[in-house]
Amino acid sequence: MNTAPESTTTEPTTEPTTEPTTPEKRFPLSFGLNTFGDVTNDADGRPISQAQTIRDLVGHAVAAEEAGLDYFGIGEHHTDDMPLSAADVVLGAIAARTERIHLGSAVTVLSSDDPVRVFQRYSTLNALSGGRAEVILGRGSSIDSFPLFGFDLNDYETLFEEKTNLFAHLLRGGPVTWEGTTRRGLRDQDVVPHLDTPLPTWIGVGGSPESVIRTAHYGFSLMLAVIGGPVARFAPYAELFHKALEQFGQEPQPIGLHSPGHVAATDEQAREEFWPHYRDMITKVSATRGFAIPTESSFLREIGPDGSLYVGSPETVAAKIAKNLPIVGANRFDLKYGIPGMTDESLLTGIRLYGGEVVPRVRELLG
């Protein structure tokens, strides 16, 4: 019977370090954008429709490719101000409008989905895009999908363990035989469409050593989601990942860094465009997510050199990315752009500055 590996509770023993180490040289530096499909406001401060928000994302991805970026991801959410419940459908429309940029999720909440359908949707996207699809799997730090699809939060860990195991079986290709407790098993099942090019698979991790070890067990890539505090506190997880890959006999895998931010012409403009909407959003979700309500002083700390927010001019944001990637040995940086209430114009400007000025400067700083 094929089931998920038993979890380990081994804590990373390496102390956080701010001493830079060179990112894995076998993996080239790459830069992406992530969005949750945050509903924007028009010039008069009125929210646009959810339908227009979804249509605008296609234009954002086209702008990202034109700016030279490597990846465009859409995260799964099911809320009024983040209505991206079917990211793969939007990504299919983007695939038809682009030629080079890789496309995928950021993240897919696998716990409340069916691994077979996730595989089928992203293998279809891979076919449509000529091999440009990726998938980032997650347990769901936002739990809206669990009651929506009838899943019990008491099964939170078991659901992700078993479904990740099944997804790993599907990626191998060929008839699949699998048994578990969270869904009916499969016996010599052919799952189509078949992959004719690889489907890069990541697991998004927000601070759980068990998730890091799980990622290494399956030989997936590791995406570190840093949404608060210094990146240095994630250095032990990167070290744990390398050690676990070696112990499981897996090949080295990329490490990515994902954080929110906004780029504008000047530091002051970036702060003015981002802060009020960031404050309102975090305040809104603080009760359910356990976040502290932000103050101006806490915001300034987070956009500072050691904080998790990449908000500022191209030079400011580039310097911060170049500083933080080596701390965890990451070779990829994904900027989560957009906050409910910002304008589409400011987002497009930020995308173009990020691709056109920030990324070249980071490459220059990292040599």
- Reply yes or no on whether the pLDDT at 159 is more than 70: yes
Across all residues in the chain, what is the average pLDDT?
90
In DSSP terms, 204 is beta-bridged to: 223
Q: What percent of the chain has pLDDT over 90?
A: 78
- Name which of 76-80, 114-118, 309-313 the model is least confident about: 76-80
Q: Give the pLDDT confidence of 180-200 residue by residue, as tens digits.
A: 999 999 999 999 999 999 999
**Which one-letter DSSP state was computed for residue 181?**
S
- Give the distance, in angstroms, between the CA of residue 265 and the centroid of all CA atoms in the same chain: 25
Mean pLDDT to the nearest integer, 206-217: 94
Residue 145, pLDDT > 70, answer no
pLDDT tens, position by position, 251-270: 999 999 999 999 999 999 99
Report the pLDDT value the prediction gives residue 42, as an integer from 0 to 100: 94
Mean predicted confidence (pLDDT) in 227-241 = 95
CB atoms within 10 A of CB 11: 9
Angle at 11 between CA 332 and CA 6, to 5 degrees: 90
Q: What is the mean pLDDT of residues 357-367?
A: 97
> Which pLDDT band, with edges at 50, 70 and 90, does 292 fall under?
confident
pTM of the model: 0.90
Q: Which residue has the higher pLDDT, 25 or 350?
A: 350
DSSP class of 358: I
pLDDT in tens, 11-48: 333 333 444 444 444 799 999 999 999 999 998 999 99
Q: How confident is the model at residue 141 (pLDDT cuts 50, 70, 90)?
A: low
φ, ψ (nearest 5 deg) of residue 343? -95, 150
C-alpha 47/C-alpha 93 separation (Å) is 23
Q: How far apart are CA 41 and CA 49, in angstroms?
A: 9
Whole-number pLDDT of residue 82: 84
Domain annotation for the chain: domains and CATH numbers: 30-365 (3.20.20.30)
